Amino acid sequence: MTDSDVLLRLKTSCATAHDHYDQIVAVSQKIINDSFDGLYDRYPEYGTVDFSNKRIGSIKGSLYSPRLLLGGGLGADLSLTSALYIMRFKDGNLTIPADDDDDPDHVEPLAGWNLAVTIDLKTQSVVVDPNADPDEQARQQAMWDFMHDKFDIPGDYSIERLFAKLADAHWKDFDFTNSQFGFNGDGSNRSWGQLIKQYPFLETDLQIMLSHWALVQEQNGLTTTGIKFTLPPPEKIDPLKPTFQPTAMIHQVYGYSNASKGVPKPVISYETPGDLNSLLYCEMVSNHDLPADKQLASTGNFTSQASSIGGPRIDGTFTLSHQLFLQSFLLPMLQAFNKTSIIYPMPASFSYDGGNSTIYWNYAIGNDQVHQAVTDDFFTFTPVYNPATPSDATAYKFTTNYTSSLSPHGRNPNNGVYGSFDATGTSQVDFKWNPGQARFSLSGLSVYKYDSYWADNNDMQRPFGWLKDTYECSWSFDINIDSIDDGVLQLSVNAGVNNDCSAKVALTRHEQQQSQTPEGQKEGIQNEIVRQISDHIKTLQKNLSEKFMTSAKFVYPGNGTFNFSAPSVGNTGEILAVIEYKPVEPAKIKVPSPTRAQMGSMRQFPFASVPVSIPGIAPTPKLDWSYNKPLKGAQKDIEILIQGKNNSALVVSLTDIAFTLNSEPNGRALVTGENFSASDWVIGSPDETKPNVFQIVTGDNSAAAFKSVKVDVGEEASDGSTPLTFSGTGSASVAPNSSITLALFTGTGVPNTYIVSITETWPPVDGNATRNLPETVAVILSP
């Protein structure tokens, strides 16, 4: 079971209500106070107070390291914009002049005194008042210059800077409730009221002494604790230059709470859980503006108690926003994979030569002919949001959708064959993470699909042939966060044994009839995608694994100040790193100078399309059709035989056959008569003496070919003719050299040439058409 503090830490983000900070450094109250201890141990002279004035007295003593109470004083509600800075006296004396010069001065021991003053974190600089007198303006300007030149530098998190900044306290505004003014005679803590009752003039004199002492220190270029800091100029704060230089910063307090551990709201205290409250450095980089809404809207914790299952206490976190690390740094490196995911279908064309028809088309891998550069905004990843947290991304994706078609449909006038072609190429690349882990995953799925049909009509109804193929290409790899070595984020790539991202192309749908898939298409798609992806992986690995300190590596600011460890990914893609102050040294920690190697560019694969074609194989009759000659026109009763002979060496099997011809009462069609209805036709033998008799027979013995035969009467045409379709269904076989015949005994029209249309239907065979295009027999009625 995951510790609740761990889960809350994963919920931290850099978001405000309507905007975000680029990065946040969070240091707990405990880590600050512990570092103050280290600072005083290294520089004992910090702990000296020495001020004397004959008129108001003197204060001389030594100090313990100060204490910071984030959020205000004990027992108060947490303030996000203030803290208490407590000077703690180890020993020394406060001398108060006697009222009578002949009397001895009053001497109060300072051991056990704690003087608390308020730090206003909203105040980032001393304001130079243009209306003040010249001397006061000069004092304010000197202080402004001192603070900005030495301490108020974004990206400098040194405990020295923080100590000096916090020591710029409001010495004229003690927090009496949280101060300690020695002891009463009975050993109890003495209050401010009890002290000034005993020494009335101290109500003003103590603050005057400290304020004058602070002013003298300030005029001497010293901090209020009496030590002159010599910090490097801003450009030298961190010799290992950050990838993104912080340029703006404000402080605020962030309270620790965890209801499941008995802390439903933040507590102000010196001990746990109050010492888990954090001071935040809320920063922007690259001259980005600070958010208009300054208060952080994060719902998690930047610090954590030690886990009950053995996890360490965390007192500091460096949080990189997903906008900064992912959108500005990592994702732009990965846009080349978005380009490679494209399968781009191009418009098709149709051609014919005699009775042969062909559809041609091209497709391209990794290029759509328009967006050529991988840096094009077209390839930018789009954030995916959880509706419950609409301002925080939970993943990123890139999608494309291309369509192509043959328009208008192709037509072969030689045999009336029409061809259609429609293709789509879609891709989606997903960038995801599992909160708490130290890795990201990039995966792609590209789908290439086309549908081609062949028919004898432009509406592509009742197609006799088709080819429907769908190819799916999938690939994936991981980007692992291995460590933060000397402030440099170490990333590696796991792209499979062959560095091909385990790319695989599968033919997931294949339907064909009277057509065939172009040879080698699946292998061609896979080879080209693997070629491009493998090339990108090599470049990415080089950029992320080699020591490119200022280009391909992400370099944290604060490397000379913090030790970084345990990187992980938060719920919304923030990079979380545990930080702790490095031991205070007498001199600036030296770090190696950055190398200046430049990041390699992903290769630009030019547009190259692959030509593909499929023939339109028009199915032809398996029987050779003719009619009995000669036939005379204008006959009242005559036999008409439409005969199909099997001239092949194999049996021709039929499941259906249909003959369509025209009739017209005035003799302007092959068949004439007064009435035309299905009931007027009789199934029988051709030797019948009455008209309108029909039968479909096979062989020389004129046996019935099908168990079921019928005639259908169509709609009358504008010329007065009516189509008649004679058909048989079931199962019929025509042996080699044998034949099948439609036999009619009917009246004929006037001498002319008339067309009979014949469609054979065969048993289904995989991949083949089941019927021919209508065969026409021109029947001539002679005078």
pLDDT band at 185 (very low <50, low <70, confident <90, very high): confident
Cα–Cα distance, 39 to 43 (Å, whole number): 6
- Which pLDDT does position 124 carry in this prediction? 44
pLDDT band at 80 (very low <50, low <70, confident <90, very high): confident
Q: Cβ(499)–Cβ(534) under 8 Å? A: yes
Record the tokens describing residue 475, joined without a space. Answer: 């690939």
Q: Cβ(26)–Cβ(298) under 8 Å? A: no
- Which pLDDT does position 217 carry in this prediction? 65
Tell me which amino acid residue 643 is. Answer: Q
DSSP 644-659: EE--SSSPEEEEEEEE
For the segment 332-341, the average pLDDT, to the nearest whole number, is: 94
Cα–Cα distance, 603 to 767 (Å, whole number): 42
Indicate the range of 219-233, 374-388, 621-635, 674-688 predicted with least confidence. Answer: 219-233
pLDDT tens digit string along 582-592? 887 655 444 44
Indicate the range of 93-97, 103-107, 404-408 predicted with least confidence. Answer: 103-107
Task: Kindly tell me if the per-residue pLDDT of 39 is higher than 60.
Answer: yes
3 state SS of 675: coil
CATH number of 624-782: 2.60.40.10
Task: Kindly tell me if the per-residue pLDDT of 439 is higher than 50.
Answer: yes
3 state SS of 285: strand
Compare 242 and 110 and report the one with higher pLDDT: 110
Cβ atoms within 10 Å, residue 438: 18
pLDDT band at 691 (very low <50, low <70, confident <90, very high): confident
Task: Kindly tell me if the per-residue pLDDT of 167 is higher than 80.
Answer: no
DSSP 240-268: S--SS-EEEEEEEEE---BGGGTBSS---
Record the tokens describing residue 435, joined without a space. Answer: 């909160």
Task: Kindly tell me if the per-residue pLDDT of 271 is higher than 60.
Answer: yes
- Which pLDDT does position 127 carry in this prediction? 61
- Which pLDDT does position 592 carry in this prediction? 47
Q: Which residue matches tokens 């703690």?
A: 88
3 state SS of 35: helix
Indicate the range of 36-50, 167-181, 228-242, 314-328 predicted with least confidence. Answer: 228-242
Nearest Cα neighbor of 771 from 668, 613, 620 is: 620
Compare 153 and 113 and report the one with higher pLDDT: 113
Nearby residues of 633 by Cβ (< 8 Å), 6 or more positions away: 667, 748, 749, 750, 751, 752, 781, 782, 783
- Which pLDDT does position 209 carry in this prediction? 84
Q: What is the CA radius of gyration of the chain?
A: 46
Task: Kindly tell me if the per-residue pLDDT of 107 is higher than 60.
Answer: yes
Cα–Cα distance, 226 to 383 (Å, whole number): 51
- Which pLDDT does position 336 carry in this prediction? 93
Indicate the range of 132-146, 253-267, 539-553, 643-657 predicted with least confidence. Answer: 539-553
Instruction: Parse the chain into domains and list their residue ranges.
Output: 4-234, 322-564+596-601+609-615, 624-782
- Which pLDDT does position 591 carry in this prediction? 47
Task: Kindly tell me if the per-residue pLDDT of 222 is higher than 80.
Answer: no
pLDDT band at 656 (very low <50, low <70, confident <90, very high): very high
3 state SS of 177: helix
Average pLDDT, the chain: 87
Q: Cβ(493)–Cβ(537) under 8 Å? A: yes
Cα–Cα distance, 775 to 622 (Å, whole number): 10
In our burial notation (b when 16+ CB lie closer than 10 A, e otherwise), range 537-547 reads: bbbbbebbeee
In our burial notation (b when 16+ CB lie closer than 10 A, e otherwise), range 30-58 reads: bbbbbbbebbbeeeeebbebebeeeebbb
pLDDT band at 235 (very low <50, low <70, confident <90, very high): low
Record the tokens describing residue 609, joined without a space. Answer: 């399309």
| Element housing 542 (H / E) | helix 521-545
Record the tokens describing residue 94, joined without a space. Answer: 């406060």
Compare 162 and 184 and report the one with higher pLDDT: 184
Task: Kindly tell me if the per-residue pLDDT of 390 is higher than 80.
Answer: no
pLDDT band at 549 (very low <50, low <70, confident <90, very high): very low
